[in-house]
Amino acid sequence: MARYIVKRIIYMIISLWIIATVTFFLMHQLPGDPFSDGKKVQPEILKNLEAKYGLDKPLIVQYGTFLKNVAKGDFGLSLKYRNRTVNDMIYDGFPKSLTLGVAAVGIGLVFGLAFGIIAALNNKGFFDYFVIIMAVIGVSVPNFVFASIFQYFLGRQWALFPVAGWKGPKYMILPIIALGVRLIAQQARMMKTNMIEVMGSDYVKTAKAKGLSKTAVVRKHVIRNSILPIVTMLGPLIAGIVTGSFVIEKIFAIPGMGKFFVDAVNQYDYTLILGTTLFYAALLIFMVFLVDILYGFIDPRIRIDE
Amino acid sequence: MSRDENKLLIDVKDLRVSFDTYAGEVQAVRGVSFYVNKGEALAIVGESGCGKSVTAQSTMQLIPMPPGRIKEGSVMFNGKDLTKFTDKQMESVRGSEISMIFQDPMTSLNPTMKVGKQIMEGLIKHQKMSKQDAKQKAIEMLDVVGIPNPEKRVEQYPHEFSGGMRQRAMIAIALACNPKLLIADEPTTALDVTIQAQILDLMKDLQKDFDTAIILITHDLGVVADMAQRIVVMYAGVVIESGTLDEIFYDGQHPYTWGLLKSVPRLDTQGKQKLYPIEGTPPDLFSPPKGCPFAARCEYAMPICREEMPEKTHLSKDHFVKCWLQHEMAPDVENPIKKGRE
């Protein structure tokens, strides 16, 4: 196990290095620069700015400096947000996005799995059709539509929750639900499909032939085997959602991380592009790794042996 | 062993099972009757899709319902009609009175549960054992079915077992609560030949030790010869011939039975004699033919065969056949099985 983990960590570092390198050179291929912004800037000023951020040096030298700093965990100064380091910005924004994301994944799993299980046990019954229709709506309607509907009814008409902002727990509820709807729908659909498949499997027939009650069969044999595929996709899903949603954070005016991903590219904020990309990549790779380790505890067939 | 009301364990009468699909009603079992005495082994033979498994699983109400449903008939087990049982009542029968083992041991065990635990479940449910006792019993059962190192094996998962060992584990699960009837649904079909023989030997030994009756479902008459006392031959959801082992093997009367017997590879055939296949495929059970279902494939078929289903003709106490060749006006046909042996 220890050997496996060490090996995986080495692979993770190599992956991150490749991602960093590719992003760095692709980014510098973009036509345009961070300072002109479409307007004419005095050549002297441009020169000064480039000198300040080290952009006047040859690309390969810049790459070397960048790698050296990243190795120390330093992403450098943002080119657009004056006097703010990229580390600061992530440090400020990430906890907010993380809170929203974790809560959304939480309700997604709890309600999604519960609905999926009930729908599967009630296959082709009223509740099943209800869940499936809701799930299709939840998956196909974009979340900003839900966000606006929630804001209008829950926020304005009935004034149950604040419409937007970030000043305490009350402000989190609408964005969490708006983010969670799709997750609930996805998990419910997936869980239902898995359950139906597992309930038709031979080992469930064996369990029934033993004389176990229907609840015991579902509880001991069906659910665990149905959750396995869901665990697999949980890693990338969590990494994606905790790094913030551009749309949801914009609508609810939440100063999270989501907007950096989009703004950085539009504004040629080189350091911010690299910072957010690497942060997201590291998180994603780490989540996948974590899920692989966890998976071994749930599925004995892929338990990592010495 | 012929029918004996005192020894009768299970008596299936005129069982009809259908599956309602979008395309229509599939009449998988169309009036099947058979019985098994205590401690006896009965074989149900026939090719794939002729209703053997559905018949067996219906007795335990293990077919998925819906779409399946038992339309008619009774399954008398120890004097009680199982078709009238509720789910709760069936739970106390399954695993404790009647057990079942399935065709594919690779998929019949839960991959995420320890083998020992899978044996223990039935014991805890039916015999109200404590976990420790159940575990002891599970180890004992693994030992009984010939798995070495049972103390270690009981803690392992199915993927750590080979195919033959998994089928042994299935047998351990099935026999753990000492059932009166074991239904073995093609128990050796998915195993290779040497393992098949081992599993059959094991089942035979355990049948004696546990005094369990067995319903052996198979399409392989070679498997039957070793084990069963009586044979029921099924075709397209009906029983077309039934009798003792000798009566079927040496004096089978139905052309389908002949076909099955001739299609078994034999060691004593001369030179280049080819294996005999039964041409064609079984009829569509969405709309079963009104006459004898085998008529379309039967080389002795007469016009009447396509018009009307023949009645039972009793040839001895145990032996009956449903075939128009038994009619007094039918032409004499030489029994190819007898001829082959002379």
Nearest CB among A211, A225, A228 relative to B122 is that of A211
Judging contacts by C-beta atoms under 8 Å, the chain B residues touching residue A296 are: none
A198 found inside a domain: yes
CB contact (8 A) between residue B121 and residue A210: yes
Look up the pTM and report it.
0.82
CB contact (8 A) between residue A206 and residue B170: yes
CB contact (8 A) between residue B108 and residue A200: no
A298 or A281, greater pLDDT: A281
A168 found inside a domain: yes
Provide the residue type at B183 as one letter: I
CB-based contact A225:A120 (threshold 8 Å):
no
What is the nearest CA distance from B249 to chain A, expressed in angstroms?
A: 32
pLDDT digits (tens, 9 = 90+) for B145-168: 888 999 999 999 999 998 888 988
B197 or A183, greater pLDDT: A183
CB contact (8 A) between residue B102 and residue A213: no
Q: How far apart are CA A34 and CA B72, in angstroms?
A: 81
Chain A interface disruption, residue of B61, B99, B112, most A CBs within 10 A: B112
Phi, psi of B234 (to 5 degrees): -110, 145
Q: Does B61 touch chain A (CB under 8 A)?
A: no
**Count of domains observed in chain A:** 1
- Which stretch, A17-26, B88-97, B281-290, has highest mean pLDDT? A17-26
Q: How confident is the model at residue A306 (pLDDT cuts 50, 70, 90)?
A: very low
pLDDT digits (tens, 9 = 90+) for A247-280: 888 888 888 888 888 888 888 888 899 999 999 9
CATH at residue A153: 1.10.3720.10
Nearest CB among A203, A211, A213 relative to B110 is that of A203
Q: Does B116 touch chain A (CB under 8 A)?
A: no
What is the nearest CA distance from A220 to chain B, expressed in angstroms?
A: 9
Judging contacts by C-beta atoms under 8 Å, the chain B residues touching residue A220 are: 113, 121
Judging contacts by C-beta atoms under 8 Å, the chain A residues touching residue B92 are: 211
A161 found inside a domain: yes
A107 found inside a domain: yes
pLDDT (0 to 100) of residue B339: 60
Q: Does B65 touch chain A (CB under 8 A)?
A: no
A217 found inside a domain: yes
CB contact (8 A) between residue B113 and residue A202: no
What is the nearest CA distance from A202 to chain B, expressed in angstroms?
A: 5
Q: How far apart are CA B89 and CA B327, in angstroms?
A: 45
Strands (E), chain B: 8-21, 24-37, 41-45, 68-77, 80-81, 98-101, 181-185, 213-218, 230-235, 238-244, 312-314, 320-322
CB contact (8 A) between residue B173 and residue A205: no
Q: Which helix (H) or strand (E) holds A135?
A: helix A126-140
B287 or A38, greater pLDDT: B287
Q: Does B60 touch chain A (CB under 8 A)?
A: yes
- By three-state DSSP, how is residue A271 classified? helix
Nearest CB among A212, A225, A298 relative to B121 is that of A212
What is the nearest CA distance from A305 to chain B, expressed in angstroms?
A: 13
A231 found inside a domain: yes
What is the nearest CA distance from A123 to chain B, expressed in angstroms?
A: 11
User: Residue A181 pLDDT > 80, yes or no?
Assistant: yes
Count CB pairs under 8 A between chains A and B.
80
CB-based contact A179:A245 (threshold 8 Å):
yes
A149 found inside a domain: yes
Q: How confident is the model at residue B272 (pLDDT cuts 50, 70, 90)?
A: low
CB contact (8 A) between residue A210 and residue B173: yes
Judging contacts by C-beta atoms under 8 Å, the chain A residues touching residue B125 are: 210-212, 216
A 184-223: CB under 8 A from B: 200-203, 205-214, 216, 220-221
pLDDT digits (tens, 9 = 90+) for B225-263: 888 889 999 998 889 899 998 888 888 888 888 888 887
pLDDT (0 to 100) of residue A265: 86
Question: Of all residues in chain A, what percent carry a pLDDT higher than 70?
Answer: 97
Nearest CB among A200, A208, A298 relative to B62 is that of A208
Q: How far apart are CA A56 and CA A77, in angstroms?
A: 16
CA geometry: angle at A48 spanning A46 and A53, to 5°?
A: 95
ipTM of the complex: 0.84
Residue B257: name the closest of B284, B280, B239, B270 by CA.
B239
Nearest CB among A205, A210, A216 relative to B102 is that of A205
Q: How many Å is the Cα radius of gyration of chain B?
A: 21
CB contact (8 A) between residue B99 and residue A209: yes
CB contact (8 A) between residue A200 and residue B64: yes
The domain containing residue A126 runs over which residues? 96-258
Q: For the residues B10-38, what does the mean pLDDT come to? A: 89
A177 or B270, greater pLDDT: A177
A277 found inside a domain: no
Q: Does B214 touch chain A (CB under 8 A)?
A: no
